[in-house]
């Protein structure tokens, strides 16, 4: 298991930026000792190795999000640069410096001979609920009190 956190507000550079976690507060296994995970603080990518056995993982994210201007903030879980279905979370921030909570919990499978890169990123646009063909542009997010964890199950 690994759990990484962000305590101080992190202003993302754009509305399509990966989130970098500045501190690891729990780490029970790593690539050098048990061979399933490669991660360093400040890197947005968590690399999971198959290592000859099928691995199932529980991935959890929770954060307080804000923005400098009113607007929509959207965050998602990405696998090898592609959004994982059912992980996009969006909130409408009514005014600058308001906070909302975004979270998700997703189970993932990594093939025995494969590797995968997992990251949490802001999403530049989301479908309009009443007209899915018309996107809503999101705004640059401010992330704080964030926790991201990956557990092998």
Question: Across residues 89-110, what is the average pLDDT?
Answer: 95
Backbone CA torsion sign across 7, 68, 149, 113: negative
- Whether pLDDT at 113 is above 90: no
Q: What's residue 99's pLDDT? A: 96
What's the length of the chain?
153
Give the predicted TM-score (pTM) of the model: 0.92
pLDDT for res 30:
60
Whether the per-residue pLDDT at 31 is higher than 70: the answer is no
pLDDT (tens digit, 9 = 90+) per residue, 43-91?
Answer: 999 999 877 767 899 999 999 999 999 999 999 999 999 999 999 999 9
- The pLDDT of residue 34 is above 70: no
- The Cα–Cα gap between 42 and 22 comes to 5
Instruction: Give the model's pLDDT for residue 27.
Output: 85
Phi/psi at 43 (nearest 5 deg)?
A: -100, 130
Q: Is the pLDDT of residue 32 over 60?
A: no
Q: Give residue 150's pLDDT band: very low, low, confident or very high (50, 70, 90).
A: very high
Neighbours of 110 (CB within 10 A): 21
Structure-token pair, residue 29: 């296994």
Q: What is the pLDDT of residue 37?
A: 86
Residue-averaged pLDDT of the chain: 92
pLDDT of 49 reads 85
């Amino acid at each position: 298991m690994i759990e990484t956190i962000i305590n101080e507000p992190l202003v993302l550079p754009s509305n399509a930026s990966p989130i970098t976690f500045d501190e690891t507060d729990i780490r029970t296994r790593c690539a050098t000792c048990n061979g399933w995970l490669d991660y360093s603080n400040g890197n947005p990518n968590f690399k999971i190795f198959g290592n000859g056995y099928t691995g199932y993982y529980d991935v959890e994210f929770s954060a307080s999000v804000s923005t400098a201007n009113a607007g929509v903030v959207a965050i998602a879980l990405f696998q090898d640069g592609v959004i994982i279905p059912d992980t996009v979370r969006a909130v409408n921030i009514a005014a600058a410096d308001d906070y909302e909570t975004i979270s998700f919990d997703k189970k993932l499978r990594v093939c025995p001979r494969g590797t995968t890169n997992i990251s949490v990123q802001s999403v530049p646009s989301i479908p309009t609920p009443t007209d899915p063909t018309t996107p809503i542009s999101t705004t640059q997010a401010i992330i704080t009190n964030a926790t991201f964890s990956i557990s092998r199950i």
